[in-house]
Amino acid sequence: MPILIDGHNLIGRLPTISLGDPDDEARLIQLLQSYQARTGKSVTVVFDPGWTFALSETRRYGGVKVIFARQGGSADAVILRRVRHSANPQGYLVVTSDLELARAVTSLGARVRDANAFAGELSLPGDESPGWKDTSLSDDEVEEWLALFGEQGREGAQGDSD
């Protein structure tokens, strides 16, 4: 099921990204790339227009399609148009907490997931989120490695920095 995401709406629900951050879109795209790689789902994020261009812009970052609405338009309008013109609007999952957009796409048959709920499924690289596993060595494992390879490896590494 393709996922259409109201980008700035989702950013406003993430505790680790601020709409005031000049790199907020890039940081969200990074999170979505990780999510897409983990789930294999088709992900498209739509942002309101940027300040530096007047035409709509579409790019692909890894497995994530990124759309910036054109000046004078909005992400909501792009999302609604995509669902409305789809041969299978029931196949879309729209991520937004915008009640007006949610009602509009639901009336066309799309499913909606609240941005707060979806935000819980995302994690920043390096976060200790569900599925994260500590892979550091225990003291016993370090001692075992030192016994196998001796202090020579440690001394050699120290000697290289002279």
What domains are defined for the chain?
3-136 (3.40.50)
The Cα–Cα gap between 106 and 17 comes to 28
β-strands 3-6, 43-47: how paired?
A: parallel
Can you give the pTM of this predicted structure? 0.72
pLDDT digits (tens, 9 = 90+) for 77-128: 999 999 999 999 999 999 999 999 999 999 999 999 999 999 988 864 444 4
Average pLDDT, the chain: 81
H helices of the chain, in order, are 7-11, 24-39, 75-84, 99-107, 115-119, 139-149, 152-159
Query: Vertex 41, ends 37 and 43: CA angle to 5°?
Result: 90
Number of H helices, E strands in the chain: 7, 6
